[in-house]
């Protein structure tokens, strides 16, 4: 089929990509060398420059609002040690969520005041490490306060702590979270339990922390204003707050074209309704489904296309207005409260790419082309129902092959019917040869690592990192 007929049929989702990615994709001898040298697939490639650029973009917004600030990179979003090392080198903060994450940052020489520990479960070993190194912990519940108080007492420490909160009021409801103290109770908890001559006599309240699910600027703004109100209530009790930490969850925009995004959903809905051939594996609705002949549901995927990514999102939250007309930033500034944030995914925007080799091609009984890749779905996985970016096809073995557009599904190495790398059908310029390469761009935030397993004793991905300008030299991450 010619492209004009195929594209409306299988709408493209063109990813935002960076020059370094294009250089890599173009350089067939570099790619051949990497696969040969490391003898495995997939390989995760990383470039550290965009990491620093993303950080600077946040910093610029915080400076524009004239706020004291610390930005902590959420370490959990990517396993490579090199991001932690780079954060230490450039003086960013790092948000750690386990013993090893914290230990590694300390060993890399991160300053204690640039580290924070927000682990959802805090072991004695982790708490001791944080206490011994004066790293601020964000506490989630009374049992944690008890544990930290007991160990602090044993170690002769009087740690400053952050208190995690949730249950913000929004449109007449409370925003549910399993984390943190409820905002309705937290002021009396702090007053009654924290500090000298109280139950948790070693702990010193230093600030509040929250991290919201979802990507609503209004919810984030409302939560920030309500937290500022809590600090005012505490101030009346003579308890001051030095920081408010608004967590992570800043949007990343992955796609370059709004029309493509909208058209994809239109066409998908038609397919789910049986009005056209499927464009996802086994007609997966990605959150939509038919019930009694009616289309129900909503997209169960990350908002890959969005218009308020990263620093715009932050700017909107800080510019969110209190009912008296003052912005959140202005209220923070007046109170001399430091703003803190913990972006993970968004600091990793444009820093990574996953490349995988084609192992085989076949047709299924329905006539679909299935292209088996030397990788599995845990190596490109998140809580989103699909990774909705077109991969970049690299005809390492088949360059010069005549164009003949071929829609395919990419399948993986697990013995599972569901091991489909992308649920979306992808239109390739021609049927790939064995040894051709598929590059999945912008996978560094969660996609490549967060859910990776060693099922079947398949080896974990090799992670390579570069810092350089051309020609690139990729070096293994030492994690």
Ligand X SMILES: *Cc1c(COP(=O)(O)O)cnc(C)c1O
Q: How far is Cα 207 from Cα 165, in angstroms, rounded to an integer? A: 10
The nearer residue to ligand X, 95 or 311, going by C-beta atoms, is 95
Quick one: which of 86, 144, 315, 342 contacts ligand X (CB under 6 A)? Answer: 342
Q: How many whole angstroms separate alpha carbon 449 and alpha carbon 352?
A: 11
Is residue 344 near ligand X by the rule CB under 6 A? yes
Rounded Cα distance between 172 and 168, Å, is: 10
Residue closer to ligand X, measured from CB, 58 or 200? 58
Site for ligand X contains 118 (CB under 6 A): yes
Residue (of 234, 142, 148, 224) closest to 181 by Cα position = 142
What is the Cα–Cα distance from 136 to 119, expressed in whole angstroms?
11
- Which of residues 256 and 384 has its CB atom nearest to ligand X in the complex? 384
Residue 50 vs 247, nearer CB to ligand X: 247
Q: How far is the CB of 212 from ligand X (least distance, A)?
A: 10
Contacting residue, 50, 343, 412, 441, with ligand X by CB under 6 A: 343
Using CB under 6 A, which residues numbered 70 to 99 contact ligand X? 74, 76-77, 95
* 211 touching ligand X, by CB under 6 A: yes
In this structure, what token pair is assigned to residue 41?
A: 């697939």
In the complex with ligand X, the residue whose CB is nearer, 249 or 432, is 249
Size of the site for ligand X (CB under 6 A): 15
- CB-nearer residue toward ligand X: 95 or 374: 95
- Choices 126-134, 149-157, 241-249, 282-290 (CB under 6 A): range interacting with ligand X: 241-249
Q: Any contact of residue 140 with ligand X (CB under 6 A)? A: no
18 is a site residue for ligand X (CB under 6 A): no
Within residues 166-195, the interface with ligand X by CB under 6 A covers none
Cβ nearer to ligand X, comparing 182 with 262 = 182
205 binds ligand X (CB under 6 A): no
Interface segment toward ligand X; rule CB under 6 A; list 104-112, 329-337, 344-352, 391-399:
344-352
Cα–Cα dist 19/14, whole Å = 15
Please identify, using beta-carbon distances, which residue of 220 and 357 lies nearer to ligand X. 220
Q: Using CB under 6 A, which of the segments 27-35, 69-77, 199-207, 366-374 binds ligand X?
A: 69-77
Min CB(372)–ligand X separation in Å: 31
CB of 295 to ligand X, least distance (A): 30
- CB-nearer residue toward ligand X: 149 or 166: 166
- Binding segment for ligand X (CB under 6 A), chosen from 341-349, 364-372, 395-403, 452-460, is 341-349
> C-alpha 321: how far from its chain's center?
27
Alpha-carbon gap, residue 209 to 207, rounded angstroms = 7
Binding mask 243-282 for ligand X (x = CB under 6 A): ----xxxx--------------------------------
374 versus 452: smaller Cβ distance to ligand X: 452
Q: What is the 3-state secondary structure (H, E, C) of the chain?
A: CCHHHHHHHCCCCCECCCHHHHHHHHCHHHHHHHHHHHCCCCEEEEECHHHHHHHHHHHHHHHHCCCCEEEEEEHHHCCCHHHHHHHHHHCCEEEECCHHHHHHHHHCCCCHHHEEECCCCCCHHHHHHHHHCCCEEEECCHHHHHHHHHHHHHHCCCCEEEEEEECCEECCEECCCCCCEEHHHHHHHHHHHECCCCCECCCEEEEEECCCCCCCHHHHHHHHHHHHHHHHHHHHCCCCCCEEECCCCCCCCCECCHHHHHHHHHHHHHHHCCCCCCCEHHHCCCCEEEECCEEEECCCCCCCCCCCCHHHHHHHHHCCECCCCCEHHHHHHHHCCEEEECCCHHHHCCCEEEEEEEEEEEECCCCCEEEEECCCHHHCCCCCCCCCCCCEEECCCCCCCCCCCEEEEEECCCCCCCCECCCECEEECCCCCCCCEEEEECCCCCCCCCCCCCHHHCCCCEEEEECCCCCCCCEECCC
Give just the sign of the alpha carbon dihedral 230, 233, 239, 240. Answer: positive
Smallest separation, CB 142 to ligand X (Å): 19
Q: How far is the CB of 427 from ligand X (least distance, A)?
A: 31
Q: For ligand X, which stretch binds (CB under 6 A), given 42-50, 336-344, 393-401, 453-461? A: 336-344
| Residue 345 lies near ligand X (rule: CB under 6 A) | yes
Nearest distance, CB of residue 118 and ligand X, angstroms = 4
Our finding on whether 436 is near ligand X (CB under 6 A) is no
Instruction: Tell me whether residue 20 or residue 73 sits nearer to ligand X (CB atom).
Output: 73
Please tell me whether residue 313 binds ligand X under the rule CB under 6 A: no
Instruction: Give the nearer residue to ligand X in terms of CB position, either 211 or 423.
Output: 211
User: Where along the sequence are the contacts to ligand X (CB under 6 A)?
Assistant: 74, 76-77, 95, 118, 211, 247-250, 342-346
């Amino acid at each position: 089929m010619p492209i004009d007929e195929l594209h409306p049929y299988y709408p493209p989702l063109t990813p935002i990509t960076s020059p370094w990615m294009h250089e890599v994709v173009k350089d067939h001898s570099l790619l051949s060398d990497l696969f040969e040298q490391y003898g495995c697939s997939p390989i995760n490639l990383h470039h550290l420059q965009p990491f620093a650029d993303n950080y600077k973009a946040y910093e610029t917004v915080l400076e524009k609002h004239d706020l004291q600030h610390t930005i902590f990179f959420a370490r959990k979003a990517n396993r490579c040690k090199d991001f932690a090392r780079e954060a230490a080198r450039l003086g960013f903060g790092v948000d750690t969520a386990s013993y090893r994450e914290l230990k590694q940052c300390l060993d890399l020489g991160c300053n204690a005041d640039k580290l924070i520990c927000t682990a959802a479960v805090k072991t004695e070993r982790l708490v001791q490490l944080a206490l011994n190194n004066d790293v601020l912990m964000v506490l989630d519940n009374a049992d944690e306060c008890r544990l930290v108080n007991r160990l602090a007492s044993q170690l002769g420490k009087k740690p400053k702590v952050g208190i995690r909160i949730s249950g913000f009021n929004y449109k007449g409801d409370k925003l549910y979270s399993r984390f943190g103290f409820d905002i309705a109770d937290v002021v009396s908890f702090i007053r009654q339990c924290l500090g000298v001559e109280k139950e948790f006599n070693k702990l010193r309240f230093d600030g509040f922390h929250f991290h919201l699910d979802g990507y609503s600027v209004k919810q984030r703004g409302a939560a920030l204003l309500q937290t500022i109100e809590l600090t005012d209530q505490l101030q009346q009790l003579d308890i001051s707050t030095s920081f408010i930490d608004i967590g992570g969850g800043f949007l990343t925009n992955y796609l370059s074209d709004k029309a493509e995004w909208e058209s994809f959903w239109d066409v998908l809905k038609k397919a789910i309704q049986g009005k056209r051939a499927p464009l996802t594996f086994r007609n997966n609705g990605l959150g939509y489904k038919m019930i009694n002949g009616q289309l129900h549901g909503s997209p169960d995927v990350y908002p890959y296309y969005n218009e308020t990514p990263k620093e715009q999102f932050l700017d909107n939250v800080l510019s969110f207005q209190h009912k008296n007309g003052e912005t959140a930033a202005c209220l923070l500034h007046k109170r001399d409260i430091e703003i803190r944030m913990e972006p993970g995914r968004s600091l990793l925007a444009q820093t990574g790419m996953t490349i995988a080799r084609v192992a085989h091609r076949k047709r299924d009984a329905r006539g679909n082309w299935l292209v088996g890749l030397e990788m599995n779905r845990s190596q490109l996985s998140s809580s989103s129902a699909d990774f909705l970016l077109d991969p970049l096809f690299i005809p390492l073995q088949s360059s010069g092959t005549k164009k003949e557009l071929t829609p395919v599904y990419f399948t993986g190495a697990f013995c599972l019917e569901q091991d489909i790398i992308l649920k979306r059908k992808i239109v390739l310029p021609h049927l790939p040869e064995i040894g051709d390469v598929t590059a999945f761009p912008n996978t560094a935030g969660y996609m490549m690592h967060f859910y990776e397993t060693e099922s079947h004793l398949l080896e974990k991905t090799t992670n390579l990192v570069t810092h350089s300008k051309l020609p690139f030299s990729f070096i293994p991450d030492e994690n």
